[in-house]
Amino acid sequence: VRINFSNPKVAARARIELHETKFNGKKLKLYFAQVQNQGPDGDNLHLAPPQPAKQFLISPPASPPVGWQQIDDATPIINYDLLYAVAKLGPGEKYELHAGTES
């Protein structure tokens, strides 16, 4: 059963006096509920997300900043010994990755 009170003080007084009293062999449980009214434009009164103060871009800018100069990439260091050793590996063969030690 739902009972709506027009005055919050009367609702509080009713809850104080009637909560967990016996009625027809059962305990009454009384709760307060807030009424959700719709706003004047028909929207529910939910919190709206805040307006962004700044738009943060994920992608880089369309043009570089003033004074920016591109630098040449360093020449990659190629370890030919490592490439040769990897090229010699064959499927199904056993290889020692690290030399074994006694300890």
The pLDDT score that the predictor gives to residue 74 is 87
The pLDDT score that the predictor gives to residue 43 is 61
The letter for the amino acid at 94 is K
Bridge partners (DSSP) listed for residue 22: 27
Q: Report how far residue 75's alpha carbon sits from residue 88's, in angstroms, rounded to the nearest whole number.
A: 26
pLDDT digit string, tens, across residues 51-63: 777 766 667 667 8
pTM equals: 0.34
The residue among 30, 34, 37, 36 whose CA lies nearest residue 1 is 30
Q: Report how far residue 73's alpha carbon sits from residue 75's, in angstroms, rounded to the nearest whole number.
A: 6
The residue among 1, 26, 29 whose CA lies nearest residue 15 is 29
pLDDT band at 39 (very low <50, low <70, confident <90, very high): low
Q: Report how far residue 86's alpha carbon sits from residue 80's, in angstroms, rounded to the nearest whole number.
A: 10
Average pLDDT over residues 23-47: 75
The pLDDT score that the predictor gives to residue 80 is 92
The pLDDT score that the predictor gives to residue 55 is 64
Q: Report how far residue 3's alpha carbon sits from residue 31's, in angstroms, rounded to the nearest whole number.
A: 10
Q: Report how far residue 2's alpha carbon sits from residue 21's, in angstroms, rounded to the nearest whole number.
A: 16
